Every structure is written in C-alpha cells, then in structure tokens.
C-alpha cells in the first residue's frame, strides 16, 4: 500500500469544499458575467445543481469499489493494459491541471501584490510549498485543511457582510433576460470547474477515508456548500460591480473585496480576504498533485510515491510557465480544450466504468445462478 493514511469524513468534507471553491470563485464570475450578463448567478445556481448529480455518480461508482483508488478501479474493470491506458489519461489531466492552478495562483500574486517579482520565483516558491505538503502525506494536509477551515469560513462571512451595504438590486435586473445558449455555456463552465474535475477526489475517496459510507454524504454536502459559496460570490459580483464591470475584470471577486468600505473605517482589507482565495487554491493544487503522484506510483507499481514529488514538481513549474502565453490564449484554451477534456475524463469515463461494473456484476450473478442449478 502506497499510503497507509486514513482521514475522517469531516476532513474529507473540508477537502471537498476547498476543491469545489478552489480557483472557481476567483476567475469564474468573470466568464459567467461575460456569457450570462446579469443572469450569471442563475447560471451558477444551475451549474451547482447539475454538479450534485455528478457527485451522485461518483458516489455510486465508489460504492462498488470501497477500498480502491480511481486508478485501481480502472485496472479492475478494464484489465491491466486498457485500465492503465485510461489511468494515464486521467493522470495527464490531474498533472496538467496542477500546473494550471499553479499558473492561476502565481498570476494572481504577480498582478495583485508582487508586481516587480519575477513570476518564475513565485511559481518556484509555491511549488516548494506544494511538494512539502504532498510529501508530508494525506493525513497531514487533511488536518491542516480542517484546522484552517473555520478561519476560511470566517473570511467568507466577513466578505459577504462587509460588502452587503454596497449592493444595488437594479444590477441584476431584468432577470431571465439572457438567451438559452449563453446561459447553457455559462452553466457548463461551472459544472466543469467545480464538479467534473472533482474526479481526482476518487484517488482519496473511498480508499483512504475511514468511513466510506459517511464520506459519501460528506462528498455531497461539501459540494453543496462549495457551490453555495460560488453562487453567493457570483451574485455579489453582479450586485455590487455590475455585469459589465465583472466581465471586464480578470479577478472580479478580488475587485469586490477592494470595494469594502464600512463607515470609512473598515477598508483596504483585500489582502486579508485574499487569504481565503489562496487557501482554497492551495488545497485544490495539493489534491491535484497528490492524485498525480499516487496514481503514477500505482501505474508503475512503485512502493512509495514520495520520490516522484520532486521531479514532478519541477515538471509542474515548467508547465505552469509555458501553458498560457497570455490571458487571451488562456480563455480560448479553457473553452475549447480544457472543458471537453474535463467532460471526457470527469463524466464519460466514470459513466463507462459504472456501466461496465453493472454489466459484469449481472454476468457474474447469472453465472452463479446457472452453476447452482
């Protein structure tokens, strides 16, 4: 066994919330406002609702393999070589998306705080912290996630409460004006980033959770809580900034934090609020990278995943520096390549796995019944 750790369902629930929110609340409101205008919050709500059905799919798949990771499920269902082929596709996604989140984190720090610091230095420092967290193991970073969780929720509450006086209801009017096609496009982006990509959590759940059945509920509730946060932040961006301003901003939710001004006394606290985004981005990056390391070690039949962390960390830094030449390329790549890729790995593959598992079980039951006769 590569990892002997076991985490509680509460710790797993915290990880689910971090992963669901992740980079989503930082960058998604901009895209939602661009496509759905003032109805961006409706698209976010629909995306979260659809995402919950995706979680149900993952839970049903995990019920059939209560002690296996996603990579082990593939080999069990499809055989050694075909299963490894599907696993390589999955691991390519998790490794690539680790680099994407590192890019987002580095770009956020570079553009908002460390304007004159070379972006390479920022990415290297973030990668070192990432490698350290993964090398310490699942139990360690899960406990850290649990410890930081109350403060994380407190920061969200502070943002919502302090920005509420600047709400302008007319910014979301008229409601339901957007056409179906842009609304669907915006909804899909939410489902992809917050739900389909959470397929990487099956590298932890159910194999490393000490209460698999209870963790299924934690998976669902964690996704729901994270989804509610996404809807609330998106709604606040529209209510305070307006749809046009939100669409033009690279990080509209951070711009939202800059608007906080209570009685001319409580203001300029966006650096504190930025801790919220950094915490969620870090744990999303850790989960992607941990899934990559564990998965690659299982595909290669290694006894320990830790020797992989440094070479893969170097690869992640290199990828994060070259993956997006500019913001325009990033937006085009996310829409035309990243989303179809996530749908393939996060929806079609687990659906195929569930169908194969059901068919194989029925064949085995018929075989057993015929043998008894």
147-158, pLDDT tens digit by residue?
Answer: 999 988 888 888
205-254: pLDDT as tens digits: 888 888 878 888 899 999 999 999 989 888 888 888 888 888 888 788 87
Q: What is the mean pLDDT of residues 267-288?
A: 82
pLDDT at 98: 92
Q: How far is CA 239 from the centre of its chain?
A: 25
Query: Is residue 262 within a helix (H) or strand (E), and if so which, with residue range?
Result: strand 261-262
Query: Is residue 28 within a helix (H) or strand (E), and if so which, with residue range?
Result: helix 24-36
Say what angle helices 80-112 and 24-36 make with each other, to 10 degrees: 90
Query: Is residue 21 within a helix (H) or strand (E), and if so which, with residue range?
Result: helix 9-21
pLDDT at 268: 64
54-68, 162-176, 201-215, 283-297, range with greatest mean pLDDT: 283-297
Q: What is the pTM of this model?
A: 0.91
- Distance between CA 37 and CA 26 in Å, rounded? 17
Q: Which range among 156-160, 173-177, 295-299 shows the weakest confidence by mean pLDDT? A: 173-177
- Distance between CA 123 and CA 236 in Å, rounded? 30
Mean pLDDT for the chain overall:
86
Pick from 286, 180, 301, 171: which is nearest to 234 by CA? 171
pLDDT at 371: 63
Higher per-residue pLDDT: 37 or 293 = 293
CATH code for the structural domain at 9-372 = 1.20.1740.10
With 0-12 / 13-18 / 19 or more C-beta atoms within 10 angstroms meaning exposed / middle / buried, residue 147 is: exposed
Say what angle helices 80-112 and 119-136 make with each other, to 10 degrees: 130
Cβ contact 243:171 at 8 Å:
yes
Residue matched to tokens 């409601």: 175
Backbone angles phi, psi at 266, to 5 degrees: -95, 100
Domain-by-domain residue ranges, the chain?
9-372
Given a cut of 80, is residue 19 above it in pLDDT?
yes
Q: Which range among 10-14, 82-86, 179-183 shows the weakest confidence by mean pLDDT? A: 179-183
Cβ contact 105:126 at 8 Å:
yes
Cβ contact 24:190 at 8 Å:
yes
> How does residue 265 score in pLDDT terms, banded at 50, 70 and 90?
low
Say what angle helices 212-236 and 40-64 make with each other, to 10 degrees: 170
343-355: pLDDT as tens digits: 999 999 999 999 9
> How does residue 267 score in pLDDT terms, banded at 50, 70 and 90?
low
Backbone angles phi, psi at 211, to 5 degrees: -135, 80
pLDDT at 373: 58
């Amino acid at each position: 066994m590569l990892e002997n750790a076991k985490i509680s369902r509460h710790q797993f629930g915290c990880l689910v919330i971090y992963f669901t929110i992740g980079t989503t609340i930082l960058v998604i409101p901009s895209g939602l406002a661009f496509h759905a205008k003032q109805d961006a919050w409706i698209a976010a709500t629909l995306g979260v609702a659809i995402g919950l059905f995706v979680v149900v799919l993952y839970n049903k798949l995990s019920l059939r393999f209560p002690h296996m990771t996603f990579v082990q499920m593939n080999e069990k269902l499809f055989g050694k070589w075909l299963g490894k082929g599907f696993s390589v596709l999955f691991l390519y996604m998790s490794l690539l998306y680790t680099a994407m989140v590192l890019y987002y984190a580095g770009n956020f720090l570079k553009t908002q705080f460390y304007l004159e610091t070379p972006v390479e230095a920022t990415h290297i420092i973030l990668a070192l912290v990432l490698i350290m967290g993964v090398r310490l193991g699942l139990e360690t970073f899960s406990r850290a996630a649990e410890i930081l969780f109350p403060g994380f929720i407190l920061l969200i509450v502070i943002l919502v409460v302090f920005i509420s006086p600047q709400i302008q209801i007319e910014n979301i009017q008229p409601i339901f004006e957007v056409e179906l096609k842009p609304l669907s496009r915006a909804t899909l982006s939410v489902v992809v980033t917050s739900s389909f990509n959470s397929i990487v959590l099956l590298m932890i759940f159910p194999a490393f959770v000490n209460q698999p059945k209870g963790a299924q509920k934690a998976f669902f509730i964690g996704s729901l809580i994270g989804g509610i946060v996404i809807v609330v932040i998106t709604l606040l961006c529209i209510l305070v900034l307006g749809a046009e301003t939100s669409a033009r901003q690279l990080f509209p939710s951070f711009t939202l934090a800059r608007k906080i001004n209570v009685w001319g006394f409580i203001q300029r606290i966006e650096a504190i609020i930025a801790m919220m985004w950094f915490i969620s981005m870090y744990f999303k990056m850790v989960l992607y990278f941990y899934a990559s390391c564990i998965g690659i070690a299982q595909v290669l039949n290694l006894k320990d995943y830790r020797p992989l962390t440094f070479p893969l960390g170097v690869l992640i830094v290199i990828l994060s520096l070259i993956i997006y030449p500019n913001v325009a390329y990033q937006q085009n790549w996310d829409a035309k390549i990243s989303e179809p890729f996530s749908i393939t790995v996060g929806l079609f593959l687990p659906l195929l796995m569930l169908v194969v598992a059901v068919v194989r079980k029925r064949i085995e039951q018929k075989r057993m019944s015929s043998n008894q006769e």
